[in-house]
Structure 1
Amino acid sequence: MRNYVYPAQMQTQSMGKLSVRVNSQANLRPIENATVKITRTGDPTNVLEEIQTNSVGRTETIELPAPPLDYSLEPESMQPYSEYTLVISAPGFEDMTVSGAQILPTVTALQSSQLLPIVQPETSELFVIAPHTLYYEYPPKIAEDEIKDVSNFNIVLDRVVVPEYVVVHDGPPSDNSAKNYYVLYRDYIKNVASSEIYATWPEATIQANVLAIMSFTLNRVYTEWYRNKGYSFTITSSTAFDHKWIPERNVFENISVVVDSIFNNYLSRPGVKQPILTQYCDGVRVQCPNWMT
């Protein structure tokens, strides 16, 4: 394994891990012998690694340089993750480029990508991964009641049900140009958690944050909050209204394990059927009294 040292890692060299899974978007079957070229974002001509998928569409797990662990454990001005660009290709499929895949030290990043069969030549997909919410300043959450008044709502569910899918509107509710994505519920929670907390945190901290994300999401599901307002989606990707969800971003293996272990849990209050709309902020750049931080 070659060692690549970037300025952010000069003080203390750390390593993170990456594994890539590639499926066909047409039938979700794994793609064997897909090629993944990895470069540092901002330096696309220098290929650091080139790996291929096996018979189940997965690559080997490789190590990549990442910033020091302390950057993600304490408030820092330095970016706590490295950014890489992945160019994924396979015969008969459109190329896909994922720019800005985030690698944290000591943990494994999982990149799952679905390639489109070629319909016309010279086509490709590009996904640019937005910065992490703890490193970039997104619009703060607009405060809401944690228990919603649904007396005038049309609620179909007679109990809280964990859905198989959620429909994510990739923008503010009023943005009619934003795309809607059908996302597996567990995959949605993993994506949001990987976008809003650092996978290097203690497991108990990750569990608490995942539980808060699930409770918030299930409140939207149970109350059919947006559908009762005339929209055709479950939740948005806007931090002002909901959680940050990023199409095609990598998630982290330890966060994925936590979600799979507690995915059917949520927070509630005695005598209240609906899950709590658990709002939270970082408590450092944004102050939110009486919320989770």
Structure 2
Amino acid sequence: MSIFHITDTPDWGQLKINLTSRIHAHPIENARISISYTGVPDETLEELTTDSSGQTDTINLPAPPIEYSLDETNELQPYSEYTISVKAAGYESIQIAGAEILSTVTAIQNISMRPLIPDTNQNSIYVIPAHTLYGNYPAKIPEEEIKPLTESGEIVLSRVVIPEYIVVHDGSPRDSTAKNYYVRYKDYIKNVASSEIYATWPTNTIRANVLAIMSFTLNRVYTEWYRNQGYDFTITSSTAFDHKWIPERNIYDSISIIVDELFADYLARPNVRQPILTQYCDGRQVQCPNWMTIL
């Protein structure tokens, strides 16, 4: 696949950054933030400072033409990649490489910073992998959309519950070295949607995909699918088993608004209590007859 170069005639996307303390979720004021191209990390493009709410101004950044993300036959990278470096007094420095900026939409980078341990100089670095519609990821392993709930000893919730938090295992289920993350349900859905669809798509297309992601996730919650197999998490970040979730990745305003609108909804069959395990594929890199496609 070809890579977008900034010398091409660009469109513009937007970026807004929100900083909070990991301990008390208080906003972090007067943090110093530098923005650079991920391919040229030492050349600063923008320097920002957070206000009393822990937020920066919304800035414009070059991005590939919007058509790149709307044309399903396009093989050019539809987003530009930036590195965000953050320093704040009393907190560990943090660097996020690969923040994705799409044309015409606002990328929202939420960052939770760890208080600095005295006499240390710590720096956390996160590298955001390629978007699932652009990179190469394992195809979903087919499962039944309605799980049988008749096995002896099975743990199943008595009703569908919208959780406040879920536990995300950042790897395949059997990878015991992968880290577990406690993530707010809505934040998880926003992260997955931003990782698996493009925020430039029409509103109703985004809405349909978000609904599918939520229904799949709530099926895992309702059936306690992984806990019933002896694991201590709700869902994984492996595309072979679940959806792609990426620590510290940016989300988008167009997706965030729709998740806030639909967060308590899911898909179900008549006379079936559990949410449908709504599996889908991109319809281009992976073909999946009789499944939903996101393109």
Aligned to 2:139: 140
Superposition deviation, residue 35 in structure 1: 1.1
Q: Is residue 129 of structure 1 aligned with residue 128 of structure 2?
A: yes
Counterparts of 2:66 and 2:4 in 1: how far apart (Å)? 15
TM-score normalised over the length of structure 1:
0.96
Letter in structure 1 aligned against 2:195: S
Aligned to 2:40: 43
Structure 1 segment 179-194 matched on structure 2, within 5 A: 179-194=179-194
8 Å CA contact retained: 2:172, 2:237: yes
Aligned to 2:28: 31
Number of residue pairs aligned between Structure 1 and Structure 2? 288
Superposition deviation, residue 56 in structure 1: 0.6
8 Å CA contact retained: 1:9, 1:68: no
Structure 1 segment 68-87 matched on structure 2, within 5 A: 68-75=65-72, 76-87=74-85
Structure 1 segment 28-177 matched on structure 2, within 5 A: 28-75=25-72, 76-119=74-117, 120-152=119-151, 154-177=154-177
Secondary structure of residue in 2 paired with 1:51: strand
Secondary structure of residue in 2 paired with 1:269: coil
Counterparts of 2:10 and 2:179 in 1: how far apart (Å)? 40
Moved over 4 A (4+): none
Letter in structure 1 aligned against 2:67: D
Superposition deviation, residue 285 in structure 1: 1.5
Counterparts of 1:267 and 1:9 in 2: how far apart (Å)? 42
Secondary structure of residue in 1 paired with 2:5: helix
Secondary structure of residue in 1 paired with 2:280: coil
Letter in structure 1 aligned against 2:70: L
Structure 1 pair 216/115, CA: closer, same or farther in 2 (3 Å)? same
Counterparts of 2:188 and 2:39 in 1: how far apart (Å)? 28
Secondary structure of residue in 2 paired with 1:8: coil
Counterparts of 2:156 and 2:92 in 1: how far apart (Å)? 40
Letter in structure 2 aligned against 1:281: C
Counterparts of 2:131 and 2:4 in 1: how far apart (Å)? 20
TM-score normalised over the length of structure 2:
0.96
Q: What's the Cα RMSD here?
A: 1.2
Letter in structure 2 aligned against 1:52: T
Counterparts of 2:10 and 2:39 in 1: how far apart (Å)? 20
Gaps of 5+ in 1: 1-5
Aligned to 2:226: 226
Superposition deviation, residue 42 in structure 1: 1.6
Counterparts of 1:89 and 1:138 in 2: how far apart (Å)? 33
Deviations 1:98-144 (A, max 9, x none): 00000000000000001111114221101100110000010000000
Superposition deviation, residue 44 in structure 1: 1.3
Superposition deviation, residue 7 in structure 1: 5.6
Counterparts of 1:114 and 1:249 in 2: how far apart (Å)? 12
Superposition deviation, residue 12 in structure 1: 3.5
Superposition deviation, residue 13 in structure 1: 2.0
